[in-house]
């Protein structure tokens, strides 16, 4: 049983790291999405603003067209990278790994406190592993970057020391 306990502890650690990496990826994607979206809004406000009519520059029409092209390009960029879908996927993945993390902590606590027998612990551990494998399969299209993963490891180590 010692090896099974170690495996559940490893699953606990891995799910904590992956959950944190997904939440970090979620935050970064959300910031990028808001920046690009905000730029699009500001550019469109400038284009439609009556203030441009007050300017009698001979290049105002060219300026407006350039702004329109930049705005359309940013919108295309935002659509192409599909930030909103990725944000939702990373958030869902983070929630899935959070459930696995909390469940593994609870299973380990019940076993350590001798509230469940070895057979029940083994069954719950197998179910937990299946949940983890299912989450890996479900969210294989939104893998956090290596940087997000490294940042998650550092963040978790920092929190553990406190």
Residue 130 in tokens: 């299946």
Could you tell me what percent of the chain has a pLDDT over 70? 98
- Given a cut of 90, is residue 81 above it in pLDDT? no
Residue 32 in this model has a pLDDT that exceeds 90: yes
CA atoms within 13 A on the CB side of 24: 20
- The pLDDT assigned to 162 comes to 65
Which residues, at least 6 apart from 14, have a Cβ–Cβ distance to it below 8 Å?
132
pTM summary value: 0.84
Domain range summary for the chain, segments of one domain joined by +:
2-157
pLDDT (0 to 100) of residue 54: 73
CA 67 to each of CA 41, 57, 80, 126: distance values in angstroms, whole numbers, following the listed order: 11, 15, 20, 57
What's the rounded mean pLDDT across residues 131-144?
95
């Amino acid at each position: 049983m010692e090896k099974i306990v170690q495996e559940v502890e490893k699953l606990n650690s891995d799910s904590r790291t992956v959950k944190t990496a997904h939440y970090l990826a979620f935050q970064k994607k959300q910031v990028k999405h808001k920046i690009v979206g905000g730029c699009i809004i500001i550019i469109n406000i400038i284009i439609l603003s009556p203030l441009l009519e007050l300017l009698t520059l001979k290049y105002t029409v060219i300026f407006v067209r350039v702004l329109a092209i930049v705005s359309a390009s940013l919108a295309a960029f935002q659509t192409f990278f599909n930030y909103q879908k990725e944000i939702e996927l990373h958030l869902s993945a983070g929630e899935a790994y959070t459930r696995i993390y909390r469940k593994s902590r609870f299973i380990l606590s019940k076993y350590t406190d001798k509230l469940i027998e070895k057979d029940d612990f083994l069954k719950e551990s197998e179910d937990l592993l299946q949940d983890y494998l299912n989450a890996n399969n479900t969210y294989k299209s939104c893998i956090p970057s290596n940087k997000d993963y490294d940042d998650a490891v550092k963040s978790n180590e920092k929190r553990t020391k406190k």
